[in-house]
Structures are given as structure tokens and as C-alpha cells.
Amino acid sequence: MSEELTQRVISVIATAQKLPLERITIDSTFEELGIDSLDGVNILFALENEFNINIPDDKVEGVRSVRQMVESLEKVVSGEEPPAAAAQT
Amino acid sequence: MGARRVVITGVGVISALGLDARQFWQTLAAGRSGIGLIQAVDPGLLRFSNGAEVRDFDPARHFEPKELDLLDRFAQLGMVAAREAVRDAALEWSAALRERTAIVTGNCNGGQTTEDEGFVDLYRKNRSRVNPMTIPRTMGNAAASRISVEFGITGPSYTISTACASSTHALGQAFWLVRHGLAELAVTGGSEAPFSLGNLKAWEAMRVVSPDTCRPFSKDRRGMILGEGAAMLVLEPLEAALARGAHVYAEIVGFGMSADAHHITQPSVEGPARAMRAALEDARIQPDQVGYINAHGTGTLANDPTETKAIRLVFGAHTERIAVSSTKSMHGHSLGASGAIEAVATALALERALLPPTANFTEPDPACDLDVVPNAARPAQVDYALSNSFAFGGLNAVVALRRWQ
């Protein structure tokens, strides 16, 4: 798991959730951070913008922690998921 | 003036299930879904590709070119449904009746297709001006206003916007206006046309739209499917309807509303349960008199189990004897129009003793353990039915209908 990727994900979550960076670690669960499903949608949007990628729903199903989010994102970023046409508009 | 009994004497529907109420009912009864590949925009630009659009609707067959300048698609659909409902009710207009007739419509998005076109002109085509009719076309009350002008209706007229519950709130308000003598007649319902690229991208970002189809209460449900359309109903006091020999589809007996005071998108159990109870109380009926519920049933992961719990909370052991179906599986979720569309489905189900199914159903979900009338309509004579609508923002509306013999 890339440390740089992890830090960028944590930074995006902190900004989206209006939380201080130091509140969030790789081991934080979404429940601990007060992230509900609507917050999750916001975070995915912010991550898509941060990494300029398209994150399909089925790649993040069941993600409930920062670690799971980083792991899912690693797969998407590593090119397993080519960006959809939608990302160009 | 005391409370009067109120009946439905005219219906009009335009939806993915056809261009009039007759086609709507035939398709519902056959359990056929109107969901298909989106035509209005290039689905390659979206994460989802299916919708429940109104097909083969030619506005030029219904409106003069000059009229069309003023009407966004949502208002066109609303007007077409209103014409059908008024024609169906075989009303004889008089100046006095026009003055005592109310119009209450529901709508969520207004003329957002027109707005979207204006934004394309400004931001993409770098034009410096937009269509001067943008404001009258986009206002949410455009359909209500057009209905008023066309029929010369001069009584209380307004539009209610409560997202996915808009037209159930509208129907309930119209019902109360007629019941309590504030109007002698009402034209009520809702319309919606959400298929513009800007709006579809907004739904995409919410991540609640299904990548395939709408499977309410099914274990493998993946989300909602957006729909467009309109339904309008004519309501009048029972006595007036009988006196003029009008055809009665069903009686409206109760209306209940509530707010969750909870979350902007997550549904609650308590709020919908209170709205259902309020509708039963308003109707002065007991839970065990209800035989059918047309569910809100969006097919999202969150709604269906929550609605199941709410129904169980209200109906207890009687839940086992209630048929619950979501016709959104066929006509999609047309937001501000869906409550009215489903109220018509419910009225026709009572009248024709045939309960429309939940289509696209594949696998039971223990979290949605209701009798959901899977895939095939069911002959059943039911005396009382509810039609549920629960909006984003936690605003709930439920109407109770009674079979007319």
C-alpha cells in the first residue's frame, strides 16, 4: 500500500468531512469518523477529482474504512478500471 | 360545511407505459416494464444507461408551435394528462364551476430541460443570451398555470414541491379542499421530465441509480430508475358525481403527512409509519381493513427494507395479509409525478380488482419480507388501499383509497 496514496486519501477525506487531518489514520473506520452513505458519495466525488479517475459503484461496495478505501482505490488507479467517457465531460 | 365524501371521476396518465391511461393500465396489468435505453441524451456519457422515458410523444400533435414556445416538456406532459383526465370525467363547465375548481399540481425539478439548454447556450456555445421564455418555462407551476388557462379555471391553484412526494402531497391537498368545501372540483396530480444531461449527471453523482433495471424488494436490487411522465385526476364530491351520473373510479378517504426530522437522504422507519397512520386515522379506518399498498418502493438499497419495517410497524401481524407492490419497477421513478401515477394505479387496481405486480423481481430479500406480488398481476378484490410516497428530505405523504362498488 503506497504511503503517498494513503496520505492523499486521508487528506481528501479530511477536506470533504471538514475534519482535522490528525483525526484520521489508515485504521479509522467510517463509523468513527461519522461518515454516512451521503458523506461517502461526497468523498468518492472528491477522490474522483483528486485522482482524475472514474470510480464505479461496484469497486467501492462494502467500503467502511480508510484502509478499505485506499485498497479499492489502488486497484482503480493502477489501471484496472479505464476512465469512462463520462470523465471527459 | 361538514366533511364531504370525495371521489375520483377522471384520470389521465402519460408515462413510459404509454401515452394514455388505457395503455398505462394494460401495461401494468401485463406486468411489462417500460424501462429501456435512455434516448434523450447519449447514455455513453453516463454511468447508467436505462430510464423510463415517455416514448413516441410528439408535442406538435398536442400543441400549437406558439404554445410550445412557453412549455417545457414537464408542462407539456402535465397538460396532456390533464386534458385526458378532464375529458374522461366528462365535465360540463359553467362559469360558477370554473370559479370553484382548484388545481393542485406536484413537481420536483421544474423545467430543468429548458434550464439545461440555456446553460449549454451560455457556457458551452458561448452565447451571450438565453431564450427569453426560459423563466416561464422553468417555473414549477407552469403546468398548473397552463391547465388553468386552457380550461378557464379560476379557483385556488398552486404547485407543491416535496421531491418524490410532491404529487401525493398535491393530491392530498386537493382532496382536503374538496372534502371541506373549499372547492367543488379539483384537477390534481403531477408531472416531471428529468432527462437532461445536467440532471442525469447529478443523479449519477448521487450513486442511487441502478446500472441495470429497477428491482424493488428484490435481493439483487441495485437502485432506482428515473422515469418521466404525468398523471392527473379529477376529484369531486360524491353527491355531485352521482347527481351527474359520472363514472367513479374510487373514493379518496384519507390523507396523512409527516416529516422524519432525520436526514436529507437516508429514510427513516418512524416518519413513513406516522404518515401511514395519519392517513388511516384521517380515513377513520383500521389497519386490518387495508388489503393493498402501492409502495414507494424505489428499488434502492436503503428505501425498501426501511419501508418494509415501517409497514410492519403500522400493520403488525396483518402485514401478512397485505399485498404490497412497487409499480416503479415498470414506470420508473418519475419524482414529482410518481405519487399521482401510483395513485391512479391504485385506484384502477381497486376498480378492476387486479393488483399490479412488482416487475423485474428475481429473489426474495429477508429484509423486505412482504408479499410483493412478484412479476404477475394478481386478481383480488380489495376494499381499502394506500399509496405511499416518501421524499428525500424526509417528507412523507400517504393517501388512502376505497373501492367504489
Cell numbers representing residue B12 in the block: 389521465
What gap in Å lies between CA B155 and CA B148, rounded to an integer?
9
For residue A28, the enclosing domain spans 3-78
- Specify the DSSP class assigned to residue B235: E
Rounded-to-integer distance, Cα B147 and Cα B77, Å: 11
Q: Please tell me the distance in Å from A89's CA to the nearest CA on chain B.
A: 8
User: Is the distance from CB of A1 to CB of A71 less than 8 angstroms?
Assistant: yes
- Residues contacting residue B208 through CB under 8 Å, at least 6 positions apart: B223, B224, B300
- Partner B contacted by A47 (CB < 8 A): no
**Residue B73 to residue B133: CA distance in whole angstroms:** 13
* H or E element that contains B259: strand B250-259
CB contact at 8 A, B208 and A40: no
Q: Which helix (H) or strand (E) holds B290?
A: strand B290-294
Q: Under DSSP, is residue B6 helix (H, G, I), strand (E, B) or coil? A: strand
> How does pLDDT run across A3-37, given as a tens digit for each residue?
999 999 999 999 999 999 999 999 999 999 999 98
Q: What is the CATH number of the domain that holds A52?
A: 1.10.1200.10
Total count of domains within chain A: 1
Tell me which of B108, B169, B214, B333 is the catalytic residue.
Answer: B333
For the cut 80, the answer to whether the pLDDT of residue A80 exceeds it is no
Q: Is residue A89 part of a domain?
A: no
* Residue A64 domain-assigned (yes or no): yes
Q: How confident is the model at residue A87 (pLDDT cuts 50, 70, 90)?
A: very low
Average pLDDT, chain A: 88
Element (H, E) at A11: helix A3-17
Residues contacting B255, CB < 8 A, separation 6+: B171, B172, B173, B175, B176, B278, B279, B282, B397, B398, B399, B400
Report the share of chain B in percent with pLDDT over 70: 100
**Chain B residues lying within 8 Å of A41, measured CB to CB:** 205-207
Q: What are the chain A neighbours of B263 within 8 Å (beta carbons)? A: 36, 38
Q: B384-391 and B290-294: which strand pairing? A: parallel
- Dist. CA B294–CA B58, nearest whole Å: 30
Nearest to A57 among B44, B207, B264 (CB): B207
Active site residue B296: yes
pTM above 0.80, yes or no: yes
Does residue B65 contact residue B238 with C-beta atoms inside 8 Å? no
Residues sharing a CB contact under 8 Å with residue A44, sequence separation 6 or more, in sequence order:
A55, A60, B207
Average pLDDT over residues B74-97: 98
* Average predicted confidence (pLDDT) for chain B: 97
Is B333 among the residues known to form the active site? yes
Q: Which residues of chain B are within 8 Å of residue A44 when distances are taken between CB atoms?
A: 207
Q: In terms of CA atoms, which chain B residue is nearest residue A83?
A: B47
pLDDT for A88 equals: 39
Residue A85 in any domain: the answer is no
Rounded distance, CA B19 to CA A34, Å?
A: 47
Query: Is 90 exceeded by the pLDDT of residue B265?
Result: no
Residue B197 pLDDT > 80: yes
- Between CA A84 and CA B203 the distance in angstroms is 16
Check residue A86 and give its pLDDT.
44
Give the percent of chain B with pLDDT over 90.
Answer: 98
Asked if residue A88 belongs to a domain, the reply is no
- pLDDT over threshold 80, residue B356: yes
Tell me which of A57, A58, A59, A60 to substitute to probe the interface with B (most B C-beta atoms closer than 10 Å): A57
> Considering only A72-81, B96-105, B273-282, B294-303, which range has the smallest mean pLDDT?
A72-81
Identify the closest residue of chain B to A44 by CA–CA distance: B205
Interchain CB distance below 8 Å, B211 and A57 = yes
**DSSP output for A17-70:** HT--GGG--TT-BTTTTT--HHHHHHHHHHHHHHHT----GGGSTT--BHHHHH
Among B108, B164, B214, B368, the one annotated catalytic: B164
Helix segments in B93-237, DSSP class H: 95-99, 112-119, 134-138, 142-151, 166-179, 197-206
Best residue in B38, B47, B224, B262 for a mutation probing chain A (most A CBs within 10 Å): B47
State the pLDDT confidence band at A78, using cuts at 50, 70 and 90: confident
A54 interaction partners in chain B (CB closer than 8 Å): 47
Taking residues B149-172, what's their average pLDDT?
98
**Residue range B332-346: mean pLDDT, rounded:** 98
- The pLDDT of residue B266: 87
A61 touching B (Cβ < 8 Å): no
* Least confident window among A37-51, A71-85, B74-88, B274-288: A71-85
Q: What is the largest CA-CA distance in chain B?
A: 63
Residue B285 CA to residue B83 CA, distance in Å, equals: 33
How many pairs of residues across A and B have Cβ atoms under 8 Å apart? 30
The DSSP symbol for B45 reads G
Can you tell me the distance from the alpha carbon of B280 to that of B290, in angstroms, rounded to the nearest whole number? Answer: 9
> In this predicted structure, what is the pLDDT of residue A89?
37
C-alpha cell at B254: 384519507
* Per-residue pLDDT at B342 exceeds 70: yes
Q: Residue A85: what pLDDT?
A: 46
CB contact under 8 A, B201 and A56: no
Cβ within 8 Å, pair B264-A56: no
Q: Which element (helix H / strand E) includes B307?
A: helix B303-315
Question: Quick check: is B263 catalytic?
Answer: no
DSSP B141-158: THHHHHHHHHHT--S-EE
In a domain, A87, yes or no: no
Q: What's the grid cell of residue B179?
A: 372534502
Please name the residue that has the C-alpha cell 451560455: B122
CA–CA separation, B78 vs B103, rounded Å? 12
Please give the residue of chain B at the shortest CA–CA distance from A36.
Answer: B266
In this structure, are residues A30 and A19 in contact, taking their beta carbons and an 8 Å threshold? no
Helix (H, G, I), strand (E, B) or coil at B71: coil
Residue B41 in contact with residue B203, Cβ under 8 Å? no
